[in-house]
Amino acid sequence: MTSAEPVAVVVCTVGEQQYAIPVAAILEVAALVEVTAVPQGPAEMVGVVNRRGAVIPLLDLRLCLGQPSRPLSLSTLFVVVEAAGIVAGLIVDDVREVITLPAEALKPRTRGGPFVQGMAAVDQTPLLVLNTAALLQSFAPSELGM
C-alpha cells in the first residue's frame, strides 16, 4: 500500500491487535441492536440487522481474521462499511479514534493475511490497515444472504 496522500482511518481493536478501517469505506459506527440469525449462513456471519430500513449482514471481524469469537452484548460495536458494491457491518471489540495516517507512515503488507492492505506504526504500536473490499468480496453477496 503506497499512496501519496494521507489516509483518514478509524482505529479499532479486534482481539489484541489494532486495525484501521479507511474512513472512506465507513458509513457509520453503531451499537448492536436486535440481530436476526440467518440459517446456514457462513460462520463469520452472525446474522443481519435492520439499519434505517436496510437489511445489513453482520460479520464477526474476529472470525474473519482467524481469531476466536466472543459473546455479543448490547454494548458490542459494529462498523458499517461499503466496498465493492457490498454493505455489511463488521463487529469489532472497540472503536478507539479517528486518525490521519501520513502517506510516509503507510507500508505495504508484510503480514496479516489477505484482508490487510498495509501497515503503520502509531506510537510504537503496529496498526494493520484493513482492505475492506477484499474482506467483503470474500463473502459473495449470495453467501451474505443478499
pLDDT in tens, 95-135: 999 999 988 888 876 666 788 888 888 888 889 999 999 99
* Domains located in the chain, CATH noted: 7-15+27-107+119-137 (2.40.50.180)
Q: How far is the C-alpha of 75 from the C-alpha of 96, rounded, in Å? A: 14
Taking only the tens place, the pLDDT of each residue in 35-89 is: 998 888 888 999 999 988 888 999 999 999 889 999 998 889 999 999 988 999 9
* Per-residue burial over 64-103, b = 16 or more CB atoms within 10 Å of its CB, e = otherwise: bbeeeeeeeeeebbbbbbbbeebbbbbbbbeeeeebebee
